[in-house]
Amino acid sequence: MATITFKGSNITTVGELPKVGEQAPDFTLTNDSLQDVSMKDFAGKRLVLNIFPSIDTGICALSAKHFNGAASELDNTVVMNVSKDLPFAQKRFCGAEGLENVKNASEFKNHGFSSNYHVIMNDGPLAGLFSRAVVILDEAGKVIYTEQVPEIVQEPDYDAALATLK
């Protein structure tokens, strides 16, 4: 389990993110068109998993916007926002913000992602939601970068994540 903080108070996650160099665990999530998506749908492409508690919070919104801007400049790379938000909320937010370079995926009906990526928060006011994390996979589905953001109200280290893709 990972220990992170929420506004300075310690909380834990159900485990540790997959390790760099490992084959990423498969997943099935639901996109904002209510279609299932899995890792095989992105075979041959690099995949940035921008994982967060909810698209309707300030820091989560900032990360979606930041990665949307970066995605247009990345070759052979898909950026996917991953949360437990309903696909309708993800689509509404991205539509209202004009975010066209990222994909959305929800765990609202398939629960293997949180089990395999160990991102559920065990305690604190956001218990049951995803922690803030970034996991990047190469074209073969191997993990090439991870960041478990240490403080929920902190943005990911975009520079470090994006440097992995250049």
- 2: its two tokens: 């990972």
- For the chain, residues with pLDDT lower than 70 are 60
Interior/surface letters 12-24, b for 16+ CB within 10 angstroms, e for the rest: bbebebbeeeeeb
Q: What is the pLDDT of residue 62?
A: 78
Q: What is the pLDDT of residue 83?
A: 94
Nearest to 129 by CA among 35, 47, 59, 69: 59
Helices (H), 33-129: 58-71, 87-97, 112-117
Each residue's pLDDT tens digit, 55-76: 887 776 778 888 877 877 888 9
Helix (H, G, I), strand (E, B) or coil at 135: strand
Q: What is the pLDDT of residue 1?
A: 86
Domain ranges in the chain?
Answer: 12-50+61-163
Q: What is the pLDDT of residue 153?
A: 93
Give kind and range of the element (H or E) at residue 133. strand 133-137
Instruction: Indicate the CATH number for domain 12-50+61-163.
Output: 3.40.30.10
Are 86 and 48 in contact by the 8 Å Cβ rule? The answer is no
Q: What amino acid positions are annotated as catalytic residues?
A: 60
pTM, two decimals, is 0.93
Q: Report how far Cα 65 is from the mean position of its chain's Cα atoms.
A: 13
